């Protein structure tokens, strides 16, 4: 029997579209588990694989930060409809309209995700050398 979290992990890993956003709780779970996986790979001297998995954790963490920055309280939007529903809620609440589209945040480009996460200045100030490696 599969747990709900297990299904979300499979869906996220395989990019299967179920028209369901990834809840923030699941994003936190994925971040934590990917970092555990990366540390396990390091302890087994599988360095290239650990870097790959850590990068995956960073991508998910940036998407989680995007949810916080844009007040996506239910999770990360996976479809245009989910994204547009967020825009509608933000506009109804007289919040600053977003001048982005779903493709700006639903990608694997760490630089673009960092830009929209609201943490670019902080990360590049504190970790500029490390960030430049990516």
Return per-residue pLDDT of the chain as tens, 134 residues.
444 555 555 555 555 445 578 999 999 999 999 999 999 999 999 999 999 999 999 999 999 999 999 889 999 998 999 998 988 887 777 666 667 888 899 999 999 999 999 999 999 999 888 888 75
Q: Domain ranges for the chain, please list them.
A: 4-133
Specify whether the backbone of 19 is left (phi greater than 0), alpha (psi in -120 to 50) or beta. left
What pLDDT is attached to residue 1? Answer: 44
What pLDDT is attached to residue 100? Answer: 81
Q: What is the pTM of this model?
A: 0.80
| CA gap 115, 117 in Å, rounded | 6
């Amino acid at each position: 029997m599969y747990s709900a979290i297990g299904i979300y992990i499979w869906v996220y890993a395989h990019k299967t579209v179920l028209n369901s956003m990834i809840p923030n709780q699941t994003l936190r779970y994925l971040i934590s588990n990917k970092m555990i996986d990366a540390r396990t790979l390091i302890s087994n001297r599988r360095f290239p694989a650990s870097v790959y998995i850590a990068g995956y954790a960073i991508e998910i963490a940036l998407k989680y930060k995007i949810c916080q920055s844009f007040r996506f309280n239910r999770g990360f939007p996976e479809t245009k409809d989910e994204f547009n529903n967020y825009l509608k809620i933000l506009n109804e609440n007289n919040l600053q309209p977003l001048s982005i589209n779903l493709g700006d945040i639903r990608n694997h480009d760490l630089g673009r995700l960092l830009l929209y996460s609201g943490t670019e200045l902080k990360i590049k100030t504190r970790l500029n050398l490390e960030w430049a490696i990516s």
